[in-house]
Amino acid sequence: MWRVGSVFLFTIIAAVWVGAGESLFEILLDKDRGLCSAMLTLINKDVEEHGRINYDSHTEFTSVKWGPSNFVSDKFKEDSCLGVRVAQFDLTNDGKDDLVLRFRWCFRDRLSDKIYFFTSPDPALSSSAGLEDVEARSLGEFPAQRGGLGNYVIKELPQDKIRSGVTPGEGVGGWMVINPFLYKGVWYLAATDRGRSGGDEVGDGFVIGKYKGRGELDNICYFRKRF
């Protein structure tokens, strides 16, 4: 009886452990061991405990002080499917603050993010008539695609990581969640897809990089969910 009970208990523990592990991330790209290790620990802990990333509970992400935008347009009345927030910080790491605008809007009833930035301050935000003006006047954006969805591919995955289930086309895309953060005095962008159900849970890929150019990052870390 003891043996049967022990085997049964061990089977339950093993199943729980494997189930939890399947939802966690592994590193596929690591150009900064300190940063990538710290962020992997942070997101895995959140995903394991909450099924999502609690950005607002981490000092790295709360270093960005988002506030309401003075961007005035009848096309951008905030509701559950549209949010516009602005913050000033050095997104480009050039020693000068940028005026960063984050749009969070719905595409097919699911929220997705887009980042634009301008010189700080920039009168364009209070005089633009629509999104076309924002896109035309911005100094940069992420991701670069027009329309409701974004896509970003990691182009430099190490060859030893390209194995069964991991392809050169790995990345994040679709309904994206984008959050800038500060780590040891340097600004980064973190981006993931929103997940299959469209809720707050994290998706299958998670990229961290420095803003490099319109729609491009200097990729530092890339995590992928274990399958």
Q: Which residue has the higher pLDDT, 106 or 115?
A: 115
Residues of the chain with pLDDT > 70, as a percent, come to 73
CA-wise closest residue to 55 among 226, 201, 209, 207: 201
pLDDT tens sequence across 21-55: 445 899 999 999 999 999 999 999 999 998 889 99
The partner residues of 210 in beta bridges, in order of sequence, read 218
Q: For the chain, what is the mean pLDDT?
A: 79
pLDDT tens sequence across 121-176: 777 666 666 777 788 888 999 998 766 677 898 887 766 655 545 565 688 988 89
What pairing do the DSSP bridges indicate for beta strands 205-213 and 216-225?
antiparallel
Cα gap 171→142, rounded to integer Å = 14
Query: Are 82 and 106 contacting, i.e. CB atoms less than 8 angstroms apart?
Result: yes
How many degrees, rounded to 5, is the angle at CA 77 between CA 71 and CA 81?
Answer: 115
Which run of H or E residues covers position 43? helix 33-50
